[in-house]
């Protein structure tokens, strides 16, 4: 299991690293731990294979929250635990589906609680990535048949009997739109088993990309889609069911 610690304070990194070493020894877990003095140093590595990240929020340059948001925009499912002195930022953690929020210096009991949850989430994400290989659909865009992983589809929009698939390739920061003739009912039937839900008559959303809901809108990072009145209750019910697996909550212990 690969773990990254991103914090500009040497003492804070050492504190978290020591807790990880203790957890690994007491629970016989194999961990590969790497430290980074800031978000820029982490991004410079260009490595998306980390399973769990400990992020400080208040860092020079890019903050930990901004780093988390940028990772979610690329579709990363890495488990995130915030470790910071700024308790008031705990409420923002839900926006990036954080596993937990710890106040520095990190204490052993809350650390165990959140790290155990992060391990469970990371194992689930690994299993999902492994099974994604079989979760592919063929989109007939014009005269070309495109094979696309379901996990790369952020949302589907229907316009005049044409389905528009917003696809986010791995590592990309913008969507590629693929089009094919079809109905929303057929798209929903194919994709609902993989965590998609209707937010309106025109949009089908991949719930893994949802970063927030505000009023009558659902945010998927840089995309904002309307939540139709008819679908409001059912969409939020499906979203809550999906988010229940992330177990995010704050801690100030």
> Residue ranges of the domains in the chain?
2-132, 136-243
CB-based contact 170:132 (threshold 8 Å): no
CB-based contact 24:31 (threshold 8 Å): yes
Q: Where are the beta strands (DSSP E) in 38-94?
A: 52-55, 79-84
pLDDT at 245: 55
Instruction: Identify the weakest region by mean pLDDT among 12-21, 124-133, 211-220.
Output: 124-133
The residue whose two tokens read 């913008």 is 174
For 2-132, give the CATH class.
alpha beta
Q: Does domain 136-243 have CATH number 3.90.980.10?
A: no
Q: Give the pLDDT mean for 147-156.
A: 90
pLDDT at 62: 92
3-state helix, strand, coil in the chain (%, to 5): 40, 30, 30
pLDDT at 249: 37
User: Does residue 125 have a pLDDT over 80?
Assistant: no
Using pLDDT thresholds of 50, 70 and 90, give the confidence band for residue 252. very low
Q: Give the rounded distance of the alpha carbon of 201 from its chain centre.
A: 25
Q: Give the pLDDT mean for 60-79.
A: 84
Cα torsion angle, 17, 103, 62, 69, sign: positive
Using pLDDT thresholds of 50, 70 and 90, give the confidence band for residue 128. low
């Amino acid at each position: 299991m690969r773990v990254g610690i991103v914090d500009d304070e040497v003492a804070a990194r050492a504190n978290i690293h020591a807790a990880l070493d203790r957890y690994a020894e007491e629970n016989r877990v194999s961990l590969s731990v790497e430290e980074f003095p800031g978000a820029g140093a982490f991004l410079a590595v260009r490595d998306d294979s980390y399973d769990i990240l400990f992020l400080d929020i208040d860092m020079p340059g890019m903050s930990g929250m901004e780093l988390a948001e940028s990772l979610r925009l690329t579709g990363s499912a890495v488990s995130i635990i915030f470790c910071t002195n700024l308790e008031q930022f705990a409420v923002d953690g839900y926006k990036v589906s954080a596993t937990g929020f710890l106040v520095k210096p990190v204490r052993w009991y809350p650390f165990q609680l959140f790290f155990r949850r992060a391990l469970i989430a990371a194992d689930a994400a690994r299993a999902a990535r492994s099974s994604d290989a079989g979760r592919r659909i063929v989109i007939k865009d014009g005269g070309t048949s495109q094979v696309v992983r379901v996990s790369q589809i952020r949302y589907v929009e229907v316009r005049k009997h044409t389905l528009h698939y917003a696809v986010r390739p791995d590592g990309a920061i913008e969507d590629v739109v693929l089009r094919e003739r079809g109905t929303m009912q057929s798209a929903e039937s194919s994709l609902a088993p993989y965590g998609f839900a209707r937010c309106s008559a025109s949009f089908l959303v991949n719930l893994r990309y949802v970063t927030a809901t505000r009023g009558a809108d659902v945010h998927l990072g840089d995309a904002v889609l309307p939540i139709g009145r008819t679908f409001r209750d059912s969409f939020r019910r499906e979203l809550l069911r999906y988010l229940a697996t992330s177990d995010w909550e704050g801690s100030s212990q």
